[in-house]
Structure 1
Amino acid sequence: MEDAKAAEQHTLVIGMSTSPGRGLLPALRTRLATLCPSARPVLRQVGWADPSAGLADGSSDVAFVWLPLPDGDRYRYEVVAREPRLVALPHDHASAARAAADPDGAVDFADLLDEPFLALPPEAGPLRDHWLALDARGGRAPRIGGVVASAEETHEAVANGQGVVLLAAGNAPIVVRDEVIAVPVRGISPSRLAVAAREDDDRPAVLAYLAAAKIGAR
């Protein structure tokens, strides 16, 4: 019983909505072992409706999250990746042809304004707005072609022509396959992936994981 309690005390639950990839998990695990050897990291998958990946309700101790976070002042974070946003679309989409003819292989966001977009669940709040690029629409409301809650749903919805979707460059491999492609988009800001924790959580393992993220921040 005492051994079980001790193990629970040292367990660090790491929330994520999809695998962060980019070599982040093994790199942070190695750094954590040096900074806080007693910590036992455990991964936890959280649905896309919770942009805090379990931080908000306390089911995760730290989490990989996309910024901006709802109630951002509740959290501290370290940005671990800054990447351009791409648009995923069917290979025979008109914008794919435009990108192929463009010297940069890109499309202008202005040319996508009338397209139906796939959106995160409404509960995602400002993160939903970010992936719809509301700040680059000049006040025009987006056309919502569907709501997606997983990478697989996103791939299928794009492949079926329900809409296009913005995604971080590093996440392209989880959506782009078969007849779905992704091309760069001009006119929108980059995405930011962060490791976050609750602002008032000062446990050594939590602070060590944030420190490990800061060491490798890019």
Structure 2
Amino acid sequence: MVAAGLNRRETPKTAANYNMKVVDVNLRRLRSFVVLAEELHFTRAAAKLFVAQQSLSKQIAELEASLGTPLLRRSSRKVELTAAGVAFLATSREVLARFDLGVAEARRIGEGRDITVRVGFIAGAALELTTPIFTEFAGRYPGSRLQLQEFDFADPSAGLADGTTDVAFIRLPSSTHGLVTSPLFTEPCVVGVYTAHRLSDRDRIRIDDLVDEPIAIGRTQDTVWRDFWTLAGPLGSRAARILIETSTQSEEMEVVAAGMACAITPAAAGRYSPRPGIRFVPIDDYPGSTVAVAHRLNPVNPLVTAFMEAAEAVRERESRVIQRIERWDQYV
């Protein structure tokens, strides 16, 4: 996966960051610290936790020793958080909230109750792998439900950026900050042109052939995505040309069919969005677009990892399908 840009197969080893000093920072101590930080009074906090004040003091002292820094300032008159305590309180609350939610969801799964996985996707999803992935996941977790939602060009993360979805099929390159991704396949890029366009009779073209052409581009704030689909990287200063913004793939195809602009697009557009009046021509010297399955770091939904594993299992099993998707000759 890619965490903030890291491939899933290259996930950093946690052992490198493992600290023996904090091995005993358990959930009981975290809960005690959170309650005390909220009450700022040992007697009230101990009563709320149903423990003796001496026991609470010992837990906090052990927690501070494990972390190697004081979390609280104590005096005969008051208790207050240190700067380290304020920072650790936010982390502690998040850890406890995620743990409690994970326990609740695990119990739901164990008891056979339904759990929903929200799956985001952009046009085309995972192409021919989409249905096999859904089928694989449903076979592994028959008590689960998939809630599907399509996103337009404005959100290449397909709902992951704002937490609308749990897992998504996305296209790379795009901004992957805070995401973990697992690539499924990479397909060629083509240019969609009006059939009367000067390039429509070519078998293949090169990037330089598009220097002076108006380009249709999805309306988005994701500059990584935008630069890729406008050829801004390889063209550099020569990329200052007319850009026509669109919101959806169908809108983009209308612009092309009207002869208003060309569109750099995945090769699958020829299969999934065939249109009278449009021809898709392979681009010889441009990298392909990768479809990946992705999720946010530290996912809350316990079935996210299971969905990723199902997608990866299909990827390994359907190698022939992927070879056909990635071949140039079927698009010529």
Contact 1:28 1:212 (C-alpha < 8 Å) held by counterparts: yes
Within the candidate set 254, 259, 276, 1:161 is matched to 259
Structure 1: 5+ residue runs without aligned partners? Answer: 1-5, 100-104
Structure index of larger Rg: 2
Contact 1:81 1:192 (C-alpha < 8 Å) held by counterparts: yes
1:63 is aligned to 2:174: no
Contact 1:155 1:176 (C-alpha < 8 Å) held by counterparts: no
1:18 is aligned to 2:123: yes
Residue identity matched to 1:16: F
Structure 2: 5+ residue runs without aligned partners? Answer: 1-107, 316-321, 323-332
What residue in structure 2 maps to residue 183 of structure 1? 281
Higher relative contact order (CA 8 A, sep 6+): 1
Q: Deviations over 1:86-140 (max 9, x none)?
A: 000011111113x1xxxxx101111111100011114232111111122221432
What percent identity do the matched residue pairs reach?
29
Structure with bigger helix share is 2
What residue in structure 2 maps to residue 102 of structure 1? none
Could you say what secondary structure the match of 1:66 adopts? strand
Contact 1:145 1:162 (C-alpha < 8 Å) held by counterparts: no
RMSD (Å) for aligned C-alpha atoms: 2.0
Residue identity matched to 1:213: A
Q: Deviations over 1:112-170 (max 9, x none)?
A: 11100011114232111111122221432242341111121011100111110111112
Q: TM-score, normalised by structure 1?
A: 0.86
Residue identity matched to 2:178: R
Contact 2:217 2:252 (C-alpha < 8 Å) held by counterparts: no
Displacement of 1:19: 3.4
Count of residues in correspondence between the two structures? 206
Within the candidate set 93, 96, 104, 2:197 is matched to 93
Distance in 2, Cα, partners of 1:122 & 1:33: 33
Q: TM-score, normalised by structure 2?
A: 0.58
What residue in structure 2 maps to residue 137 of structure 1? 235
Q: Which runs of at least 4 in structure 1 moved beyond 4 Å after TM superposition?
A: 6-9
Could you say what secondary structure the match of 1:176 adopts? coil
Contact 1:73 1:199 (C-alpha < 8 Å) held by counterparts: no
Distance in 2, Cα, partners of 1:122 & 1:34: 36
Distance in 2, Cα, partners of 1:86 & 1:74: 29
Distance in 2, Cα, partners of 1:160 & 1:94: 14
